[in-house]
Amino acid sequence: MRLPGRKVLRRLLRPLRKALRPGAVVLGYHRIADLHWDPLELAVSAGKFSEQVDVLSSKLTVVSLPELARRQRNGQKLDGLAAVTFDDGYADFLESALPLLSRAEVPATIFIATGCTGHSFWWEELAALLCASQRSVESIRVTLDCGPHGIVHTSLSDEASCQRAVRDLCHQLRGADHSTIASVLTQLRNQIASAGATEPEGRPLTSAELKRLSALDFVDVGGHTVDHGCLGELSPTAQRQQIEKCQENLEDAIGRRAVSFSYPNGSLSVETPRLVAECGFLQGCTSEEGTFGPAADPFTVPRLWAPNVGGAGFERWLSQWSRWKP
C-alpha cells in the first residue's frame, strides 16, 4: 500500500538519516547518451555525466563495487565512499561513459543481461516504434497475454501520450516471456508500418566489446540475468536457471567468474539473494533507494539513481545522502 506523502516524508528525513546512519553511496545509471527521445528516462547526457564525475571525484572517494563490499566485510569505514554502476550493458557505456571514467580514474561496474548481448533490447525497439516524431496513427490497440489488462488501447495524439504508452507497455511486459514480447512488437509494427523504420536509440554491447571491457582493471563486469525479466515473479528453480546461466555466459565471455550482480527491474523474492550467492556472486544491487552501511546485506545493496542534471544540481542532490570526504 502506498501512503500519501510517504515520498515527501522520506525526502525530509534524509538529512537525519545521513547523520544517524552514515554509509557509502552506490550510484545507478543505465545510459550515457544525448537523446532526442528518451520516454523511459534512462539516459544522462554526456556533458552532464562529465560534470557528475567531476563532483564525485572531488567530494567522495570512488571505489569499485567489489572493493566497497570488501571494505564492509572487513569492518572498514564506509562514510565518504561511492561506487558507480551501470545496468543492462548498453554500448554507449563504451562509447560515452568509459572515456570520462578513465580520465577521472573512476572505477565502474557494468551489469550484463547476457541474452541481449549482440541482439537488441525489446524496450528500445518498442520505444522506437512509438517514437513521438515518427507516429503515423492516433492510437494503438494491443492484445496482451500478461499484465493486468488483456487489451491495451491507448492514444498517440502527442508526445506525452506516446511516452505514457511506452511506459505502460514496458511495465506490463517487464516480466513477460519472449513470445509475448515478440507478439506485441509485431502488433505494433503492423499498426505503425507507414511511419517507416525507426532504429532503436540504444543497443547492447557485443561479445567482442564486452571482452575489451573485461580487460580493463577499472571495469567490473557483473551479471544481470539472461533475459532481463523479473526474478521475484519466478519460482526458485527458474530464478536459479537465470542466475546460473548468466554466470556461465559471463565466464565464457570474459574468462572469469563475475562477482557482482544486479536484480533486473529491481525484482527479487526472499530466496533470490541466497541463490545469487550460491551461484558465485559476492554482492547484489537492488533498485531500492538508500545508502550502504556497515550492517547492510551485501546482497541487497541499495542504490541512488542519478538524475539527468549538471554538476551543481548533482552536488545538491547527492549532498542529501552523503557526507563529503575530508
Q: Is residue 10 part of a domain?
A: no
Whether residues 206 and 272 share a domain: the answer is: yes
Q: Is residue 283 part of a domain?
A: yes
Q: What's the confidence (pLDDT) of residue 146?
A: 62
Q: What's the confidence (pLDDT) of residue 144?
A: 84
Q: What's the confidence (pLDDT) of residue 196?
A: 55
Whether residues 32 and 65 share a domain: the answer is: yes
Instruction: Identify any residues that bridge with 29 across adjacent strands, giving them in sequence order.
Output: 86
Phi, psi (5° rounding) for residue 119? -115, -120
Q: Is residue 7 part of a domain?
A: no
Whether residues 68 and 50 share a domain: the answer is: yes
13 vs 284, which has greater pLDDT?
A: 284
Could you read off the pLDDT of 23-63 as tens digits, one per residue? Answer: 999 999 999 999 999 999 999 999 999 999 999 999 999 99
Chain length of the chain: 326
Q: Is residue 2 part of a domain?
A: no
- Max mean pLDDT among 16-20, 136-140, 257-261 falls in 257-261
Interatomic CA distance for residues 239 and 305, integer angstroms? 25
Which pairs with CB-CB distance under 8 Å and at least 24 residues apart come from 247-255? 247/223, 247/279, 247/280, 247/281, 249/114, 249/115, 249/117, 250/112, 250/114, 250/221, 250/222, 250/223, 253/112, 253/114, 253/117, 253/207, 253/210, 253/211, 253/214, 254/210, 254/211, 254/214, 254/221, 255/214
Q: Which of 178, 195, 212 is the last residue of a domain?
A: 195
Whether residues 187 and 206 share a domain: the answer is: no
Whether residues 164 and 208 share a domain: the answer is: no
Q: What's the confidence (pLDDT) of residue 21?
A: 56
Q: What is the DSSP letter of 23?
A: -
Cβ contacts of 166 within 8 Å, gap of 6 or more: 39, 40, 126, 127, 130
318 close to 52: Cβ distance less than 8 angstroms: no
Does the pLDDT value for residue 124 go beyond 90? yes
Q: Is residue 3 part of a domain?
A: no
Which three three-digit cell numbers place residue 298?
Answer: 551485501
**Helix-then-strand count for the chain, H and E:** 12, 12
How far is C-alpha 133 from the geometric centre of its chain's CA atoms? 26
Band the pLDDT of 20: cuts 50, 70, 90: very low
Q: Is residue 67 part of a domain?
A: yes
Q: What's the confidence (pLDDT) of residue 123?
A: 95
Whether residues 190 and 217 share a domain: the answer is: no
What is the value of pTM for the model shown? Answer: 0.91
Q: Is residue 228 part of a domain?
A: yes
Please give the residue range of the domain that contains residue 136. 122-195
**Percent of the chain topping pLDDT 70:** 89
Hunting for cell 541463490 — which residue is that? 275
Range 240-248 average pLDDT: 98
Whether residues 207 and 272 share a domain: the answer is: yes
Q: Which of 195, 220, 255 is the last residue of a domain?
A: 195
230 close to 264: Cβ distance less than 8 angstroms: yes
Q: What's the confidence (pLDDT) of residue 157?
A: 86
Q: What's the confidence (pLDDT) of residue 12?
A: 45
Whether residues 174 and 30 share a domain: the answer is: no
Q: Which of 177, 195, 213 is the last residue of a domain?
A: 195
Whether residues 104 and 236 share a domain: the answer is: yes
196 close to 134: Cβ distance less than 8 angstroms: yes
Q: How many domains does the chain have?
A: 2
Q: Which of 71-85, 131-145, 295-309 has the lowest mean pLDDT?
A: 131-145
Whether residues 187 and 224 share a domain: the answer is: no
Whether residues 191 and 230 share a domain: the answer is: no
DSSP notation for 211-266: HHHHT-TTEEEEE--SS---GGGS-HHHHHHHHHHHHHHHHHHHSS---EEE-GGG
Which three three-digit cell numbers place residue 74?
Answer: 572487513
Q: Is residue 4 part of a domain?
A: no
Which three three-digit cell numbers place residue 168?
Answer: 505502460
18 close to 320: Cβ distance less than 8 angstroms: yes
Which of 202, 222, 199 shows the shortest CA–CA distance to 210? 222
Interatomic CA distance for residues 157 and 253, integer angstroms? 44
Does the pLDDT value for residue 79 go beyond 60? yes
Whether residues 81 and 174 share a domain: the answer is: no
Q: What is the mean pLDDT of the chain?
A: 89
Could you read off the pLDDT of 189-229 as tens digits, one per residue? Answer: 888 865 455 678 899 999 899 999 999 999 999 999 999 99
Q: What's the confidence (pLDDT) of residue 110?
A: 98
The residue type at 145? D
273 vs 4, which has greater pLDDT?
A: 273
Range 126-151 average pLDDT: 78
Q: What is the DSSP letter of 9?
A: H
117 close to 205: Cβ distance less than 8 angstroms: yes
Which of 299, 163, 304, 313 shows the shortest CA–CA distance to 222? 299
